[in-house]
Amino acid sequence: MTVALSGCGSSPGSGDVTLKLVAADYDVAGGQSSKKYWADLATEFESKNPGIKIDVQIESWNDVDRKVAEMVKAGKAPDIAQIGAYADYAAAGKLYSADQLLSIPEQANFLTPLTDAGEVKGVQYGLPFVASTRLLFYNKKLFKEAGIKAGPTTWDDLRKDAEKLKARTDAKYPFALPLGPEEAQAETMMWLLSGGDGYTDPVGNYSIDSAQNIATFTWLKTNLVDAELTGPVAPAKLNRKDAFAAFTRGEVGMLNGHPSLMQAAEKANVEVGKVAMPGSGGKPKATMGVADWIMGFKQNGHQAEAGKFLDFVFSDKNVLDFAGQNDLLPVTISASEAMEKDPEHQDLKKFLEELPTAVLPPVGKTSWAAVSENIKKNVGRAVEPEGVPSSVLGKIGQEANAAENAE
């Protein structure tokens, strides 16, 4: 849908500038909340900034990245795009850097992990729009039936809890492990971080087949999958969407989840417990964070106008409005502090607590899209009956390094 939010186009000699904004639709229920958010925001901005008009195009998440790519390829880049990835455009020199767009206070207000994830070769191009973290969810009713008094804090706890859930309840999935092709790269990253490593080493090189990561998948295979604690669908074939749906039906004892699942489960009358993802010996140093991005394209030369609009987008009120209505986390320090103090958002508090130390996927690498796709397709094989974690991760790691070196 395209929403004309003003008299778009410039009158001859008026000096007006019309900024083209393409944004994603976050309304999972098919409603109009994203459309209304941008319409209201644009109307308010235009009233305060005569001479700058905003023309907004809202696209579904299924289409928005492709639509923007087609616009850029056709030489008709939007001035601003709010989409899932920025690195290819930054590497091609098509984006303004953050310091070319934002005032110093706004740029300095982003949470550090999000700023870091928005950088390509040390320069920030991706502006985080909304964020999320992951926690371990558990079904309180099933835990009570199994005689488990609290969420797990170590992998050993998690294994023992899964054994009790299998023995004492009718949970189909004591622990749901979605390593299917929908979003296996996220589930994988959560486990790698909880095992003490991740996708990259401290200097940013891929370390997918590190000794720690191989040990993590070996533990998963031996202690959860081979022990038949992960349910009737093999992890390599279980997609996140299906695991989440099973959780809302009360069929899952534990799984890794995000704020939207919390809301869906509560609507389905599933009482949810939430704890930080356990580490191998206790709480890990970091959990996984996720961000969606907004960026300014150079093509139309509207640097000053786009910057003024983005400063407005990142005001506390606007950041909090969007994050709050979509059960997501604000990306700025000041808005995060405000949300944490707001009783209305207490259910997001544990997610907020994890965000300042979260680690995001290496989205600043232009190779990441291909590497992520490879993980989605193949990582589940590491926990199959005949799977060898060192072999599967080794092949993914080799191909990741080849993709990186080919840039």
User: Among 156, 176, 179, which Cα is nearest to 166's?
Assistant: 176
Average pLDDT, whole number, for the chain? 94
User: Among 184, 93, 150, 159, which Cα is nearest to 375's?
Assistant: 184
Is residue 280 within 8 A of residue 213, CB to CB? The reply is no
Tens of pLDDT, residues 223-259: 999 999 999 999 999 999 999 999 999 999 999 999 8
Tens of pLDDT, residues 128-153: 999 999 999 999 999 999 999 999 99
What dihedral do alpha carbons 361, 365, 366, 371 form, nearest 10°?
Answer: -50
What counts of helices (H) and strands (E) characterise the chain?
18, 12
Report how far residue 406's alpha carbon sits from residue 404's, in angstroms, rounded to the nearest whole number: 5
Q: How confident is the model at residue 4 (pLDDT cuts 50, 70, 90)?
A: very low
Report how far residue 91's alpha carbon sits from residue 8's, in angstroms, rounded to the nearest whole number: 31
Per DSSP, the three-state class of 303 is helix
> What pairing do the DSSP bridges indicate for beta strands 127-133 and 289-296?
antiparallel
Does the pTM of the predicted model rise above 0.85?
yes
- For residue 28, pLDDT over 70 is answered with no
Residue 60: the pLDDT is: 92
Residue 29: the pLDDT is: 67
Helix or strand (DSSP H, E) at 374? helix 368-378
b/e sequence 364-388, b meaning 16+ C-beta within 10 Å:
bbbbbbbbbebbbebbbbbbbeebe
Report how far residue 69's alpha carbon sits from residue 66's, in angstroms, rounded to the nearest whole number: 5
Is residue 368 within 8 A of residue 206, CB to CB? The reply is no
Which domains can be identified in the chain, with CATH numbers? 2-133+290-357 (3.40.190.10), 135-287+367-405 (3.40.190.10)
Q: Among residues of the chain, what percentage have pLDDT more than 70?
A: 96
Tell me the backbone φ, ψ of residue 272, rounded to 5 degrees: -105, 130
Q: How confident is the model at residue 406 (pLDDT cuts 50, 70, 90)?
A: confident
Q: Which pair of tokens denotes residue 364?
A: 């600043």
Tens of pLDDT, residues 118-128: 999 999 999 99
- Within 13 Å, how many C-alpha atoms sit on residue 66's CB side? 5
Q: What is the DSSP letter of 235?
A: G
Residue 7: the pLDDT is: 31
Tens of pLDDT, residues 325-367: 998 999 999 999 999 999 999 999 999 999 999 999 999 999 9
Residue 6: the pLDDT is: 33
Q: Which of 148-152, 161-165, 279-283 has the lowest mean pLDDT?
A: 279-283
Q: Which pair of tokens denotes residue 169?
A: 């309840």
